[in-house]
Amino acid sequence: MTMPGPEKFIWPVFVIEGVNRREPIDAMPGQSRLTADCLVEDLKPVVDSGIGSVLIFGVIDDTSKDIKGSSAYAENGVVQEAVQTVRSAYPHLVILTDVCMCAYTDHGHCGILDPDGTVNNDVTNHSLAQIALSHAKSGADIVAPSAMMDGQVGAIRAELDSSGYQDTLIMSYSTKFASSMYGPFREAEKSAPQSGDRKAYQQSYGDPKQAIRESLMDEEEGADILMVKPALLYLDIISQLRDCTDLPIAAYNVSGEYSALIASADRGWGDLKEMVRESTTAMVRAGTDLVISYWANQYEEMMTDK
């Protein structure tokens, strides 16, 4: 059987400040937090295997976090510098950046809070637009807002356009469910909310119609790529969305989905390579064009017969 080709894959990576450091992520075997120079090194075999894009997440020390997530849009922030370093090493790599605040705010929520502790949607949109612009200025090809604020795509598009970045694309996390499958990622990103949860701004999994509407609203606002996240538990949504848009769709095969297969294989309850192939094929079969996948850096091993 032919497996999905490497050109469909986007590798999500976690970048930290400094040089020459790799911090393996316990909850996600095979993935590490990397300084930009190590990322450049680790990208070599990945690029050689035909993977053409990375999605960069920044991770900073708790001591650099504040109530407004200021480091998220600093000119010399961890993501901004990583984009430049990776760009100079791989001029043709498609570089995507995650645009959110949860890894930069001391409270761990995806936006700016009102005094009552709820996220202020409009103030957050303003910050998200500044973050996206700073990523575009560093050379990101595609910005990927994941905060799930209403109107975030429109706000970012307007900011990019008025600043001369009409050609920077937006991949919106257009249908992102309030899921229990993000646990390993929150460990990787050190971004778990300090109190409360994200149900106020992420989609309820019991309401498929609303989930599709959310994606179509992002299309109206100017998104260039739509996304369904998580992927494996939402194949029905991928397939329904495929029928109502002509935009490319990305499916995010999230951390919990990734680590569950490894945990199962570790116990001898399944063959890892076979599980990776079957589940990745399922996402593509459901209609996704792109797969955001932690298997991307293991493409040769998992997806080819070598």
110 binds Zn ion (CB under 5 A): yes
Residue by residue, DSSP assigns the chain as -PPPPGGGEEEEEEEESSSS-EEE-TTSTT-EEEEHHHHHHHHHHHHHTT--EEEEEE---GGG-BTT-GGGG-TT-HHHHHHHHHHHH-TTSEEEEEE-STTTBTT--SSPBPTTS-B-HHHHHHHHHHHHHHHHHHT-SEEEE-S--TTHHHHHHHHHHHTT-TT-EEB---EEB--TT-HHHHHHHT---SSS-STTTSB-TT-HHHHHHHHHHHHHHT-SBEEEESSGGGHHHHHHHHHH--S-EEEEE-HHHHHHHHHHHHTTSS-HHHHHHHHHHHHHHHT-SEEEETTGGGHHHHHS--
143 binds Zn ion (CB under 5 A): no
Pick the closer one to ligand PBG by CB: 73 or 244: 73
Provide the Cα torsion 99, 7, 176, 174; round to 10°.
70
Piece of 71-79, 157-165, 179-187, 269-277 that binds ligand PBG (CB under 6 A): 179-187
190 catalytic per annotation? no
Size of the site for ligand PBG (CB under 6 A): 11
The item of Zn ion, ligand PBG, none sharing an interface with residue 255, based on CB under 5 to 8 Å by kind, is ligand PBG
Supply the minimum distance, in Å, between the C-beta of residue 50 and Zn ion.
Answer: 30
Residue of the chain from 124, 255, 279, 280 that contacts ligand PBG (CB under 6 A): 255
100 binds Zn ion (CB under 5 A): yes
Alpha carbons 255 and 10: distance in angstroms, whole number: 14
The item of ligand PBG, Zn ion, none sharing an interface with residue 198, based on CB under 5 to 8 Å by kind, is ligand PBG
Piece of 181-189, 204-212, 231-239, 298-306 that binds ligand PBG (CB under 6 A): 181-189
Q: 111, 107, 165, 92: which is closest to 134 by C-alpha?
A: 165
Supply the minimum distance, in Å, between the C-beta of residue 97 and Zn ion.
Answer: 13
Supply the minimum distance, in Å, between the C-beta of residue 232 and ligand PBG.
Answer: 12
**Residues 108 to 127 in contact with ligand PBG, rule: CB under 6 A:** 110
Pick the closer one to ligand PBG by CB: 163 or 193: 193
**Residues 58 to 97 in contact with ligand PBG, rule: CB under 6 A:** none
Pick the closer one to ligand PBG by CB: 2 or 104: 104
Residue of the chain from 9, 73, 165, 185 that contacts ligand PBG (CB under 6 A): 185
65 catalytic per annotation? no
Where on the chain is the footprint of Zn ion (CB under 5 A)? 100, 102, 110
Where on the chain is the footprint of ligand PBG (CB under 6 A)? 98, 100, 102, 110, 146, 182, 185-186, 198, 254-255
Residues forming the active site: 176, 229
